[in-house]
Structure 1
C-alpha cells in the first residue's frame, strides 16, 4: 500500500507539532506499507530528501500568507503524486490541498482527512474556502481527529460524524523517558542553578499564549525557559521588559531534542498557556508528561485539557487568564507532594495512552478502511 502524507511544512524546516505526528506514522517499519511526504518549504527552493528513511518532496515557497505557503508548485506536485498513491492523507488545515483534491483526486485513491485543527484567526479565508473544505470532507473516506470534542465543536465535522475516527496521537516516548549518565549530570547542574524552573515549548505565535505566561511571571517566583522560534520573538521580549521579568524569562530559540529532554527533566512544571482552538492537542504536553513533569494547561474546547487532566496529571486554567495561570504554577512550585503526584500520574498516562505502536496499529486499520471504500482499478 502506497501512502502519501500531504501538509504545508515538514522537517527539517520545522520540528514538533503536526510534522511530528506525520513522522511518527511515516517511519513505521512495515514492509507492506510504503509512505512518503509532500510539503512546501517555509521559504526557499524545492528540495527532495530522505529523512529517517522516509522520502520527502518539499516544493519551493516564496514565504507564507495567512499561514499558507506561497508555493505555486504544490498543487501540480500533489496531482502528480496522488495518481500513484493508494491512500492520500490530507493533514488539515491546508487550503492548497483542499484545492488540489477538488481539481482531481483519482476516484480509486482513498482519502483520509487528518483534521488536526480548524482554521482559527482568518475569518475571511475560512469563509472563502468553506465550500472547498465541505467538498473535501464529503469526498473523504475517513476523518481522523484527536478527540471527540473536535467533532462536536466543528461546524464542518458534525455532519460527517459517522466517518470520523477519534484517535489520540502516539509518539516515540522511550526517548523522552530516559536519560544517559551525561544527561543526568547536566540535569543535576540545571536543577542546582535553577531550583524553581518553568519550561514551555512551542512556536512563538499568538495562539500559544506566551504573552499570558509573561504576564503571569510577575506573580511567580521562578525562572521560565520558552523553547521555540517564531514571528513574535521581538514582541514577547519587549513585553517581558515592560513587565519587569526579562531577567527571569529566557527565550531559548530552537533547540536539539537532547537539549529539550534535559530541560524537561530539570524543570518543575510545564506551562502550556494556549489561548485558541488552533491548539488542538499539544504533543509537547505528552513529551513533558513522559519526563515526569506536571502540566498547567488551558480549558480549550479541544483535546488539550483531556491530555493532562485537571487535578490528575496537571492543573487546567481558563485561557488568557494570567492570574489563574500564576496561581496554578505557584501551587505546583510550592507543593512538592502535589508536583510529584501529578508528574507520576502524567508519566503513567503518557506511556499507557499515547504510545507510538498503538497509534500506528490503529492508523494502519484506517488506511485499509479508506482503501476498501474506493472502487478498484
Structure 2
C-alpha cells in the first residue's frame, strides 16, 4: 500500500506525541508499503526532505496562531497529493486536513482518520469548523482512536461508531532498553550531577501543565528537566525565575534520541502533569514505563490515568494541583523501593500490552480494510452507472 500521513507539523520543526506516532507508522515493513508525510512548517518556507528513510513535504507557514500553522497552501497540497496514494491517513486535530478533504479527494482513495483528540479552545471558530469536520468523518472509511474514552468524550465521533476502532499506541521496548557505552557513561554522569532528577517531556504548550510542575518544584527536593520545544518556553523560564526555582529547572529543548534515553535512565521518575483533555493518551508515559520509570500523572477523563495506573505503575494526582503533585513526586523520591516496584510493574505492562509491532500490525489491518471497503464501494458505484 501507498500511504500518505497528513498532520500539522513534524520533526525536526516540532516533536511530540503525534509526530512520534507518525514516525512509528512510517517505518519500513515486510509488506513493502510506501509511506510519505505531508505537514506544514512550524514557521518558514516550504521544504522537502527525507527523515528516517521517509519522504517529508513541509508546506510553508507564516507562523502559528494557538498552535495552528498559518499555511494556506496545505489544503491544496493535500488534495493534489492524495491521488497518488491508496490511503490518506489524516491525523487530528488539524482543521487544514478538513479543508483539503472539502476541496475534493478522489473517490478511490481510502481515508483513515486518526482521531488523537477533540479540538478544544476554539469556541469562536467552531461553528465554521464543525461542518468541515463532520464532512471529513462522513467521508472516512475508518476512524482510529487510541482509547475508548476518546470516543466516549467526542460528540463528533458518536454518529460514526460503526467506523471507529480503538487501538492503543505501542513502543519498541528494545529501543529504550538497549544502551551503548557512550550513553551508559552519559547516564552515570547525569546521576552524579542530578541524584534526584525528575524528567518530563512534551511540547511546551499550556495543556501539558508544565507550569504546574514548576510551581510544584517549590516544594520538591529535586531537579526537573523538561525535554521539548514550544511557544511556552519563555513563559516557563520567567515563572521559574519568579518562583525562585530556575536553578533546579532545565529546559534543554529538542534532544537527540540517545540523549533523551540518557535522561530517562538517569531520572528517578517521570512526570506527566497535563491539565486538559487535549492530553488524550500520553504516549510518552509508555516510553518512560519501558525504561522502568514510575510515572506521576493526572486524573484526566482520558486514557492518561489508565496507562500508568494509580498505585500500580505510578501515582495519579488531581488535575492542576501543584501541592498534590509535589507530594506524589516527593513520595517516590523518598521511597526508592516503592519507586522501583511501580517502575518494574510499568516495564512489565509495556512488554505485555504496548509492544510496537502489535500496534503497527493492527493499524495496517485497518488500512487494508479501508482500502477493500473503498474499492468495493467504488466498483459498486461504477456498476450502477
1:246 aligns with 2:246: yes
8 Å CA contact retained: 2:149, 2:301 = yes
Offset of residue 255 of structure 1? 1.4
Change (3 A) 1:30 1:45: farther
Superposed CA offset, 1:290-342 (max 9, x none): 11110000111111111211111111111101111011111111111110111
Match runs of 1:218-367 below 5 Å: 218-367=218-367
TM-score (norm 2): 0.95
Bigger shift: 41-50 or 87-96? Answer: 41-50
Superposed CA offset, 1:322-374 (max 9, x none): 11101111111111111011110111112222211111110111001111111
Offset of residue 32 of structure 1? 4.1
8 Å CA contact retained: 1:223, 1:248 = yes
- Measure the CA separation in 1 of the matches of 2:97 and 2:103: 10
Superposed CA offset, 1:161-192 (max 9, x none): 22111011122331111212232222122212
Task: Provide the residue aligned with 1:128 in structure 2.
Answer: 128
Secondary structure at 2:246 match in 1: coil
RMSD after superposition? 1.4
Gaps of 5+ in 1: none
- Measure the CA separation in 1 of the matches of 2:217 and 2:233: 17
Offset of residue 376 of structure 1? 4.1
Match runs of 1:48-197 below 5 Å: 48-197=48-197
Secondary structure at 2:12 match in 1: coil
Superposed CA offset, 1:127-175 (max 9, x none): 3201111111111111100100011111111221221110111223311
Offset of residue 16 of structure 1? 3.0
8 Å CA contact retained: 2:14, 2:229 = no
8 Å CA contact retained: 2:173, 2:355 = yes
- Measure the CA separation in 2 of the matches of 1:193 and 1:135: 54
- Measure the CA separation in 1 of the matches of 2:161 and 2:302: 16
- Measure the CA separation in 2 of the matches of 1:136 and 1:23: 23
Offset of residue 116 of structure 1? 0.7
Change (3 A) 1:376 1:138: closer
Task: Provide runs of 4+ in structure 1 moved above 4 Å.
Answer: none
8 Å CA contact retained: 1:75, 1:97 = yes
Gaps of 5+ in 2: 380-385
**Matched residue count:** 377
- Measure the CA separation in 2 of the matches of 1:110 and 1:172: 28
- Measure the CA separation in 2 of the matches of 1:49 and 1:244: 42
8 Å CA contact retained: 2:107, 2:378 = no
- Measure the CA separation in 1 of the matches of 2:257 and 2:3: 27
8 Å CA contact retained: 1:150, 1:301 = no
8 Å CA contact retained: 2:225, 2:252 = yes
8 Å CA contact retained: 1:294, 1:342 = yes
1:23 aligns with 2:14: no
Task: Provide the residue aligned with 2:3 in structure 1.
Answer: 3
Secondary structure at 1:247 match in 2: helix
- Measure the CA separation in 1 of the matches of 2:251 and 2:344: 28
- Measure the CA separation in 2 of the matches of 1:131 and 1:30: 39
Secondary structure at 1:373 match in 2: helix
- Measure the CA separation in 1 of the matches of 2:66 and 2:215: 27
- Measure the CA separation in 2 of the matches of 1:57 and 1:182: 34
Task: Provide the residue aligned with 2:383 in structure 1.
Answer: none
Bigger shift: 182-191 or 276-285? Answer: 182-191
